[in-house]
């Protein structure tokens, strides 16, 4: 797995004396530190899309949070009486997955760490107070890989013990990393779900650059199960390519053979999709990638997806393989309309989550 060492650290004025700023900068004593007025506008240089991303992903920004720490998730619910939110504690990622939607999401690709994180604790408590009758599910991995920089930020040692004290709150930390040793002794009381994105090794090699291998992710998930954490399996995005059937079937068998089904909280499935602006960036950066094997067509929500018959075929295959080896694992689809759920045999799961 890729070990990050920034070539420059941008520090926003006003956070120079923050303890986390000192801690992170001390880890890279020879790296230049530049003071900036606003992390949105960094002097990262010009160039074409490829060179700009290459430069920006080799930098790091430390900043103060402006705006909400916690935001509502505007997508399908998975359970009645559950409210979904995501944490906005970091932006961008040191990994370089070809399909990543963050490529078109922010002003730049520089990883940003908000160092005044005590505000996050208050924001979580305010959400719980606002919805006293509901379970609240907090997604940590919407804007960042949760463990990619955890060795620098110590975010997990801050957030997991916090959720261990909250009775109506569940935290999901999603990752493609295998750096989990520091998590194993943390008090979590089952309130944190550690979720891994799993793909076959060919997909990891050709489009999930810098991430842990399948075997490394699986070993990390197994160790966290042994420490009592519930585990989430995220087959998202599933990528179509000529050998996809044999590779995904073998991977699914290995996942459910290696992990304890009773500690798998759910399995989410989603196929590769992208907005037009993301597709343009992907084609400029990775014009010869195998992700372009399938035929993509525009959908009602503006995203490009695989042609519907192919989507249904892939979903049915994946669901069938999972049901064969783990019939009781809860399944859900990522960002698909109800007619797709029904067409692949998950109408009951959709109805349960309305």
pLDDT score, position 312: 98
In a domain, 9, yes or no: no
pLDDT at 171: 99
Mean local confidence (pLDDT), 43-48: 80
Question: Would you state the pLDDT for residue 351?
Answer: 77
Residue 31 confidence (pLDDT) above 60? yes
CB 232 within 8 A of CB 196: yes
Q: Among the listed ranges 71-80, 85-94, 130-139, which one has the minimum average pLDDT value? A: 71-80
Structural domain total, the chain? 1
Taking CA atoms, 54 is separated from 25, 94, 273, in Å, by 21, 11, 23
In tens, the pLDDT along 122-171 reads 999 999 999 999 999 999 999 999 999 999 999 999 999 999 999 999 99
> At 82, which CATH number?
3.80.30.30
Nearest to 49 by CA among 304, 280, 291: 280
Average pLDDT of the segment spanning 59-75: 94
What pLDDT was estimated at residue 79?
55
Average pLDDT, the chain: 95
- What the block records as the tokens of 137 is 């599910």
- How much is the pLDDT for 270? 98
pLDDT band, very low/low/confident/very high, at 27 (cuts 50, 70, 90): very high
pLDDT given for residue 348 in this prediction = 84
For residue 26, is it within any domain?
Answer: no
φ, ψ dihedrals at 11, nearest 5°: -120, 120
State the Cα angle at 342 between 246 and 293, rounded to 5°: 35
Residue 227 has pLDDT above 60, yes or no: yes
Q: Is residue 55 part of a domain?
A: no
Question: What is d(CA 240, CA 317) in angstroms, rounded to the nearest whole number?
Answer: 12
Residues with Cβ within 8 Å of residue 149, at least 6 apart in sequence: 4, 90, 94, 111, 113, 155
CA 83 vs. chain centroid, Å, equals 19
Could you report the per-residue pLDDT of 173-205, keeping only the tens digit for each?
A: 999 999 999 999 999 999 999 999 999 999 999
Residue 13 has pLDDT above 60, yes or no: yes
- Tokens 């908000």, residue? 114
pLDDT tens for each residue of 266-280 = 999 999 999 999 999
Segments forming the whole domain that contains residue 340: 65-353
DSSP β-bridge partners for residue 36 = 12
Query: CB neighbours of 177 closer than 8 A, spacing ≥ 6?
Result: 1, 145, 147, 148, 150, 211, 212, 217, 220
pLDDT given for residue 349 in this prediction = 85
Is this structure's pTM higher than 0.75? yes
Residue 153 domain-assigned? yes
Residue 245 lies in a domain: yes
Q: Does residue 44 sit within a domain?
A: no
Q: Who contacts 78 (Cβ-Cβ below 8 Å, separation ≥6)?
A: 84, 137, 266, 332, 353
Q: How confident is the model at residue 50 (pLDDT cuts 50, 70, 90)?
A: very high
DSSP string, 26-60: HT-TTS-EEEES-TTS-------HHHHHHHHTTEE
Find where tokens 């997955």 sit. Answer: 97
Report d(CA 354, CA 352) in Å as an integer. Answer: 6
- pLDDT tens, 278-292? 999 999 999 999 999
Residue 77, pLDDT > 70, answer no
50 domain-assigned: no
> Does residue 27 lie in a domain region?
no
């Amino acid at each position: 797995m890729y070990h990050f060492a920034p070539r420059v650290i941008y520090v926003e004025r006003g956070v120079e004396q923050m303890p986390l700023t000192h801690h992170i900068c001390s880890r890279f004593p020879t790296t230049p530190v530049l003071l900036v007025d606003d992390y949105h506008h960094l002097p990262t240089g010009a160039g074409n899309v490829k060179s700009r991303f290459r430069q920006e992903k080799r930098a790091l920004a430390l900043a103060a949070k402006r705006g909400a720490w916690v935001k509502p998730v505007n997508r399908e619910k998975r359970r009645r009486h559950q409210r979904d939110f995501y944490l906005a504690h970091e932006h961008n990622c040191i990994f370089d997955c070809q399909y990543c939607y963050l490529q078109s999401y922010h002003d730049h690709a520089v990883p940003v760490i908000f160092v005044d994180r005590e505000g996050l604790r208050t924001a979580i408590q305010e959400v719980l107070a606002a919805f006293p009758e509901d379970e609240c599910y907090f997604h940590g991995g919407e804007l960042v890989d949760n463990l990619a920089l955890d060795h620098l930020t110590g975010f997990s040692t801050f957030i997991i013990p916090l959720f261990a004290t909250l009775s109506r709150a569940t935290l999901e930390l999603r990752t493609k990393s295998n750096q989990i040793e520091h998590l194993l002794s943390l008090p979590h009381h089952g309130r944190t779900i550690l979720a891994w994105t799993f793909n076959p090794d060919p997909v990891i090699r050709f489009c999930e650059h810098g991430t842990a291998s399948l075997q490394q992710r699986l070993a990390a998930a197994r160790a966290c199960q042994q420490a009592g954490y519930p585990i989430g399996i995220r087959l998202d995005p599933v990528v179509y390519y000529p050998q996809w059937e044999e590779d995904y079937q073998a991977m699914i068998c290995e996942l459910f053979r290696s992990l304890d089904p009773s500690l798998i909280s759910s399995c989410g499935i989603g196929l590769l999709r992208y907005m037009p602006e993301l597709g343009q960036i992907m084609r400029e950066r990775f014009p010869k990638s195998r992700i372009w094997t399938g035929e993509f067509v525009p959908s009602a929500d503006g995203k490009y997806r695989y042609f519907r018959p192919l989507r249904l075929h892939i979903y049915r295959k994946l669901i069938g393989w999972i049901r064969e080896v783990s019939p009781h694992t809860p399944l859900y689809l990522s960002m698909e309309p109800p007619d797709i759920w029904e067409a692949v045999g998950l109408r009951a799961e959709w109805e349960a989550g309305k």
